[in-house]
Amino acid sequence: MENNVLNEMNQVDPNLRDEMLAELFLDQMMNDFKRSKIVEKIDQFLKNKDKEAFLRLTEKLKFIS
């Protein structure tokens, strides 16, 4: 599967390929950042024993890819 993706990427125009890879990288970085911020808030809500906020954020965390 991964080899097929890599082979297809090699057939794409180099400029377009670089743009696509940069976009994937930025998307991943944004998701990582969002995830870390949510985890920080979850930790705060655990310390404050705020069950509703904890449950809301853990649910939100599940949907970040």
Q: How many CB atoms lie within 10 A of CB 17?
A: 14
Whole-number mean pLDDT of the chain?
Answer: 88
pLDDT score of 4 more than 90: no
CB 22 within 8 A of CB 3: no
DSSP reduced 3-state for 4: helix
Supply angle C-alpha 1, 21, 64, rounded to 5. Answer: 80
For residues 23-32, average pLDDT: 95
Report the run of H or E that residue 47 belongs to, with start and end: helix 14-47
For residues 20-34, average pLDDT: 95
CB 31 within 8 A of CB 64: yes
